[in-house]
Each structure stands twice: as structure tokens, then as C-alpha cells.
Chains A and B, each alone.
Chain A
């Protein structure tokens, strides 16, 4: 096993072999989830706390389910309206939780870098469930797994990422991961939603969707993050859909067997036509959700193994 990290804070620090190791284990869990095999022993006796400083239904449910399938004691804390409102700092919240000796901490936070900051202050394993516009590593891993299962490989593919790239942590993690695995990445967005200097990451940049989609194997759509916008990035949703929404006409430019992905939740009729989203021959959006649970199981499994090893190494721990 080559995955040695203490935390899963982002894709950036991972080596390609670590990514492959994570995906291999995820693949196994995905198969066993389908067969209904349960692994109550893997995280038995461990406590998993989901701390969401930003609202989330899907990711939180996915992490919760993953933890429960592996036998962890899962606790959900929605932090939106609690201690931070009372003036407690993020670090104090982290120290308080740390004193309760959790084993796995799943954190989502609206500020870039906040999960890294929190991870510096705790002894347990921290999983980044999304920090600001920075990273969302489990999403990138589940996307990678979905692609690998659909295309049979995760290298030398031409992959288009379309939509609100500027505000998207999903895009950043995906660009990093797919780049590390040696794929061709094409970014398609109106210039107002394209981050500066992004071409230096080895991506091709397009503002014309039809040109950008030409001959790609994978079309990855992003959600228009209205809640992160401070106004005026696009003139209207209908113009956006006309120019950048994925419909049958634009999809024709991609390879005939190109798959369509979306991290959810979808704005139907804004970035993607409902017909495409529901087309079982093209859309793998439901598979992405399924792979999400498997990837999170694998990530927590590997982090828990490292955690146990570290604790053995550091004996005696008498606090």
C-alpha cells in the first residue's frame, strides 16, 4: 500500500501512485456495495465527526453513509448556526473537538485553506469535504473513478471541464488530479468565470463551447455557483444556457461515446439540459453519486489504517 498521508486535504499533495491506490480500493468497495457486502469491522470503534460549516446534503449524506457502512460511530455537526456565531474561532472549535478524541474529522468550510488550518491543530485524520474555492478531493477522486470505470483508463483522455471554473473547488481538484494522471484538460467558460493564469497549469482554455468540446472523451459540467458570486459575472441564466449550457447540439461536437458528468446539485436548464442529464447512454451522473460513497469509504479506510499505525508508533499515549 502506498498511501501514507495523515490527512486528505487536497489532491495537490498526492502522488499518482497514491491516487491509483485510492481508486483501486474504491473500485473494490464499489463492487461490494453493489453486492450488499458490509464491512462493519473496518472502522469499528472509531468516531467520525462530520463538521459542515457550509450547508450540504449530498456530500454529508455520502460521508455519513460511508462511515456507517464501515462501522464507524458517525456524528453530524452542522456548524452554520452554532459556536462560530458565538464568537468562537475555528481553531478553538478544532481544539475543543480534538479534546473529545475523534478519529476521523470530515470538514467543509466556506474559506479556502480553512481545513488545512484546522488540520494543523488536531491529532486525528482530517478529510477535506470542500474548502472555499480551493479543493474538494473526494469529489475529484469519485470523478476519476467514474471516468476510469466508464473509459477503462485514466490517462491520455481528452476531458472538457465546462462552466463556473472560477468559483469551483471541484474544478481545481479535478484539474490537479487529471493533470497528474496525464490527461488533456480543456477548460470552457465565459472569460468572467475563468480563473487567471489557469493556462499555466497545462490546460487548454476555450470560451467557445463547441470548439472546446471537439473530440473530447469526457464532458464534465459544473454548477453555476450563484451563492459564491458577488454579482454580474454573466448577463442572465438564459444567455448562459444558450452559450454554455450542455444540450444535444453542443454534445454532438464531443466524441460519439463521450460521457457526461456533473458534480450536482444540477441547475437544469442553466448549465445542463434535463434531457442530456437523464440520458442513460451518456450521463454518468448517478454513477458519480454511487462512486462517491465508495471513494469516501476507501479514503477513510486508508486514513484509519495510517492513524492506527501512527498511534502504535507513538505509544504510550497518555493524555
Chain B
């Protein structure tokens, strides 16, 4: 394979937090060389792509993508999810085990790995359930699942309510140095709730939950971490009230990181407006104050990771009264343009954004990607941060079209996505 040179690009480097013109050379699926300056090495016998001053960043690593295989392939398959990811500049998707059946045995995990290898143009790393059937009673075969390729263990949006079960699972996971991903919520409070307590929920007459339910879940899990010392990641921190507890836990040296979905960073509870079920998410959208606080936390690095929480749902499960409609939104293709809203609003700069989109998730999973440096895999995204467009959900590559951004004006188009040095978006 001949070398590939990407020259004259704005290199967004999340390690050095710099944004400057330069180029890089790709050899054998890895980055061989990186340089700064518009001029550079353009040796003969290589393919040179002039990036025309557009942004080149490490490909996005998206933790928590629901691919509905096995069970609901009509909602999303590895092929459609992979193509959507490639179109969105995502080079690694880390899949959720909340499928039907759940991914809780090495056998099911092998099926997923095989399907993914066959059909997906981007890298797929599967997560497995923490407890059997995601029931919260008995831990899964964490060791076997690790051997089969599971990169993390999570019961997704189900909280393990039995503290003893969770404590044992965390202790056992620590012995294997496995990463556990939790959903922090006090289920007693949040049961049946579809909105965040406040003026909006009262106005619309929707069952609501106090944002404190997230803090209470977080407090419990932090105590368990002090007890067990496990490696722990929180899928989504969405409220201002939870941030001080997270900050304290990090300061006390616990092995804890946190993520947030792009939807909680760019939308608030009022976007639900007249019961628009495409805005029904888990946890529910929060107040504007919470949204701003969480953006600040991403900027400061307190919240480590931004993810899409890609959750495909078909029309039937969304065209129901709000309380009964399914929860979740697709996000693979809109993750980057939505995140760029924060950049255009001056709330975060590009290197810090890619620290949360690429470097931190990659680092947390122990991967080598997410960096623009020699030796790292050539997982890259080239994008125009300013190109405007109006999103038409019919054009999404996902099989399910349940995006909250339908008809939204957005900025930022992916020009090319490379996985191990191979262009996968079909745009170059």
C-alpha cells in the first residue's frame, strides 16, 4: 500500500491542545509522521491530498452506541450504523449490550463481533452486560467476556439496585482490571418519570423527576468505588447538582470518569415543546442552567467524554403519547455538527472538543487512537467546521430516523473519514 499524505490541514491536536496548519503521512494504517506548516514533505510515489486548510482531527470514539443487532435489525444493523458512523466522522463505535437478547454471554458477544467485522466500515468494540440479562441479580462471566473482546461492562440505563450485587461485581471487575460503566440515577425517584421536575414538566403535566435523583445515584456509586476500587465510567452526567460530587471523587483519586450525551449539551427541556417524542431521552432533557453547567464541565475536563448515545427507534415506537413513546435518539451522523454548535457559540475550542470526542474515550478504553502522533492508528476525520446545512432526517444513513435535529440549521460537514488509513465515508 502506498503512503498517503494529508497536507495543508488545520491539525486539531487534543493532546497538545493546539490547532495549527500542518500535515501528516499515513503508512500501513498508522500515522508515520506529523509536521507543522503549510509546506511539508511531499515525496514522490505517495498519494497527496491537499486538505485546503480544513480541519483534520483524530476520528471520534463513540462510547454507548446502540446497534439493534441481535433482535431488532429493522431499527439498526452493523452495516447501517457503521455507514452512519463513517458519515459522521466516527471511527470507533463502542456498542451497548441492551439488545434482545442482551449481550451477556461470550457466545452472544462472538455473534456480535462476527457481524460487526463483516458489515461495519468502522471499528466496532462491543461492551457486555454487567449482570445476567441486565436483571441486576448475578454478575456475568466478566473474565470470559473480556477474553471474547468486551471492552467494558454495563447494564446501560438500568441501575443495579441491589447494592450487594453491584459491590461484588465491581470488586470482581477490579480483579480483572475491567472497566464498568454505570448509569447514575435513584430508580425509586425516577420510576415512571419522563421529564425533569420544574416549570416545563408542570406546564405540560408530565410525570417528572428531580435532578437530585442523578446526584443520589452518583453518591451511592462513589461510595461503592471507595469500597471496591474499581475502574468506573458514568455514561451521562447531565445536571449541575451532580458536578461537585464528581469533582470531589476525582480529587480523592478514585478511578472515575464521566460522559455526557451530545443531546444534553445542545438541547434543553423546553425543546420538547408540544410533546415532541423525538426529544424524549433517558435521562430526560434538563434545564438550561444544567446544560450550561455541563458544557463548562466538559470545557474544564471534569466531564471527560462526549458521546452520541445513539439509540435507534422506529416510527411506531415514537408515534405514541409522550409518556408511552420509546426513549432515545439517533446521533451518529449529527454528533459532530451538533458539537460544533458549542464551538460556534464560543463555549469550547476545537482541540478541547476533540479531547472529549476522541482522545479521552480512546484513553479510557486503553486504545492507541484519538491522537495525531506518529505510531497512532490512522483513524482520522477531515471536516469543514463552517459549512452550513439544514438537516433532513430522510437523508440519514441510520435505518431509524429519530433525530431531534430534523429541520435544524447546523454547521459542519465531514469531508472524509479514515479508518486505519482507508477512507470509509465514500466522499474522497
> Hey, which bits of chain A sit against chain B, CB under 8 A?
89-91, 109, 111-114, 116-117, 131-135, 169, 172, 195-198, 200-201, 230
B227 CB, nearest partner CB in chain A, Å: 31
Interface assignment of B368: CB less than 8 Å from any CB of chain A: no
Task: Report chain A residues within 8 Å CB of B200.
Answer: 197
Of the residues B197, B204, B275, contact of A196 by C-beta under 8 Å:
B197
Q: Are A132 and B205 in contact (CB under 8 A)?
A: yes
Of the residues A89, A117, A133, A197, contact of B275 by C-beta under 8 Å:
A117
Q: Are B319 and A91 in contact (CB under 8 A)?
A: yes
Interface assignment of B428: CB less than 8 Å from any CB of chain A: no
With A89-B316, A113-B274, A117-B321 as known contacts, state yes or no: A197 contacts B205, CB within 8 Å.
Answer: no
Give the contacts of B185-229 with A (CB-CB under 8 A): 192, 197-206, 208, 210
B290 CB, nearest partner CB in chain A, Å: 14
A202 CB, nearest partner CB in chain B, Å: 11
Q: Are B274 and A116 in contact (CB under 8 A)?
A: yes
Query: With A and B bound together, what is the CA distance between A201 and B199 in angstroms?
Result: 8
Of the residues A90, A133, A230, contact of B205 by C-beta under 8 Å:
A133
Q: Are B321 and A197 in contact (CB under 8 A)?
A: no
Of the residues B192, B204, B275, B320, contact of A90 by C-beta under 8 Å:
B320
Q: Are B201 and A196 in contact (CB under 8 A)?
A: yes
With A90-B321, A112-B206, A113-B275 as known contacts, state yes or no: A196 contacts B199, CB within 8 Å.
Answer: yes
Of the residues A113, A196, A198, contact of B321 by C-beta under 8 Å:
A113
Of the residues A113, A117, A230, contact of B204 by C-beta under 8 Å:
A113
**What mask results when residues 320 to 332 of chain B are scored 1 for a CB within 8 Å of chain A, else 0?**
1111100000000
Query: With A and B bound together, what is the CA distance between A113 and B198 in angstroms?
Result: 17
Query: With A and B bound together, what is the CA distance between A116 and B274 in angstroms?
Result: 8
A-B contact pairs, 12 of them (CB 8 A): A111-B321, A111-B323, A112-B205, A112-B206, A112-B275, A112-B323, A114-B321, A117-B319, A132-B205, A132-B323, A172-B202, A196-B210
Query: With A and B bound together, what is the CA distance between A134 and B320 in angstroms?
Result: 16
Of the residues A90, A135, A197, contact of B202 by C-beta under 8 Å:
A197
Task: Report chain B residues within 8 Å CB of A134.
Answer: 204-205
Query: With A and B bound together, what is the CA distance between A169 and B201 in angstroms?
Result: 13
Chain B interface size, under 10 / 10 to 19 / 20 to 34 / 35 or more: 20 to 34
Query: With A and B bound together, what is the CA distance between A198 and B198 in angstroms?
Result: 8
Task: Report chain A residues within 8 Å CB of B323.
Answer: 111-113, 132
Task: Report chain B residues within 8 Å CB of A113.
Answer: 204-206, 274-275, 321-323
B209 CB, nearest partner CB in chain A, Å: 10
Task: Report chain A residues within 8 Å CB of B320.
Answer: 89-91, 117
User: Nearest B residue to A173 by beta-carbon distance?
Assistant: B205
Query: With A and B bound together, what is the CA distance between A24 and B210 in angstroms?
Result: 42
User: Nearest B residue to A133 by beta-carbon distance?
Assistant: B205
Q: Are A111 and B204 in contact (CB under 8 A)?
A: no
User: Interface SS of chain B: helix, strand, loop or mixed?
Assistant: loop
Q: Are B198 and A111 in contact (CB under 8 A)?
A: no
B190 CB, nearest partner CB in chain A, Å: 13
Give the contacts of B137-193 with A (CB-CB under 8 A): 192
Task: Report chain B residues within 8 Å CB of A117.
Answer: 275, 319-321
User: Nearest A residue to B197 by beta-carbon distance?
Assistant: A196
| Most chain B CB inside 10 Å of its own CB: which residue of A109, A112, A116, A134 | A112
A197 CB, nearest partner CB in chain B, Å: 3
Query: With A and B bound together, what is the CA distance between A112 and B199 in angstroms?
Result: 15
Q: Are A109 and B321 in contact (CB under 8 A)?
A: yes
Query: With A and B bound together, what is the CA distance between A241 and B288 in angstroms?
Result: 39
Query: With A and B bound together, what is the CA distance between A172 and B192 in angstroms?
Result: 21
Task: Report chain B residues within 8 Å CB of A197.
Answer: 197-202
User: Nearest A residue to B316 by beta-carbon distance?
Assistant: A89
Give the contacts of B297-351 with A (CB-CB under 8 A): 316, 319-324
B43 CB, nearest partner CB in chain A, Å: 62
A115 CB, nearest partner CB in chain B, Å: 9
Task: Report chain B residues within 8 Å CB of A133.
Answer: 205-206
Task: Report chain A residues within 8 Å CB of B192.
Answer: 230
List the 5 shortest-distance A-B pairs measured between CB atoms, nearest first: A133-B205, A113-B275, A197-B199, A111-B321, A134-B205
Task: Report chain B residues within 8 Å CB of A195.
Answer: 201-202
User: Nearest B residue to A172 by beta-carbon distance?
Assistant: B205
Q: Are B198 and A196 in contact (CB under 8 A)?
A: yes
A232 CB, nearest partner CB in chain B, Å: 12
Task: Report chain A residues within 8 Å CB of B274.
Answer: 113, 116
Contacts beyond the supplied A112-B275, A112-B322: 14 A-B pairs with Cβ under 8 Å: A90-B321, A91-B320, A113-B206, A113-B275, A116-B274, A117-B320, A133-B205, A133-B206, A195-B202, A196-B197, A196-B198, A201-B199, A201-B202, A201-B203
Query: With A and B bound together, what is the CA distance between A117 and B277 in angstroms?
Result: 10
Q: Are B324 and A200 in contact (CB under 8 A)?
A: no
Task: Report chain A residues within 8 Å CB of B205.
Answer: 112-113, 131-135, 169, 172
User: Nearest B residue to A197 by beta-carbon distance?
Assistant: B199
| Most chain A CB inside 10 Å of its own CB: which residue of B197, B201, B206, B321 | B321
User: Nearest B residue to A134 by beta-carbon distance?
Assistant: B205
Task: Report chain B residues within 8 Å CB of A116.
Answer: 274-275
Query: With A and B bound together, what is the CA distance between A200 and B202 in angstroms?
Result: 10
A91 CB, nearest partner CB in chain B, Å: 5
Task: Report chain B residues within 8 Å CB of A131.
Answer: 205
With A116-B274, A116-B275 as known contacts, state yes or no: A196 contacts B324, CB within 8 Å.
Answer: no
Query: With A and B bound together, what is the CA distance between A179 and B203 in angstroms?
Result: 13
Query: With A and B bound together, what is the CA distance between A201 and B197 in angstroms?
Result: 15
Query: With A and B bound together, what is the CA distance between A271 and B344 in angstroms?
Result: 55
Query: With A and B bound together, what is the CA distance between A167 and B177 in angstroms?
Result: 48
User: Nearest A residue to B315 by beta-carbon distance?
Assistant: A91
User: Nearest A residue to B210 by beta-carbon distance?
Assistant: A196
Give the contacts of B254-294 with A (CB-CB under 8 A): 274-275
| Most chain B CB inside 10 Å of its own CB: which residue of A116, A135, A196 | A196
Q: Are B321 and A200 in contact (CB under 8 A)?
A: no
Q: Are B202 and A196 in contact (CB under 8 A)?
A: yes
Task: Report chain B residues within 8 Å CB of A91.
Answer: 319-320
Query: With A and B bound together, what is the CA distance between A172 and B199 in angstroms?
Result: 12
Query: With A and B bound together, what is the CA distance between A112 and B202 in angstroms?
Result: 11
User: Nearest A residue to B272 by beta-carbon distance?
Assistant: A113
Task: Report chain B residues within 8 Å CB of A89.
Answer: 316, 319-320
User: Nearest B residue to A111 by beta-carbon distance?
Assistant: B321
Task: Report chain A residues within 8 Å CB of B204.
Answer: 112-113, 134
Query: With A and B bound together, what is the CA distance between A111 and B320 in angstroms?
Result: 10
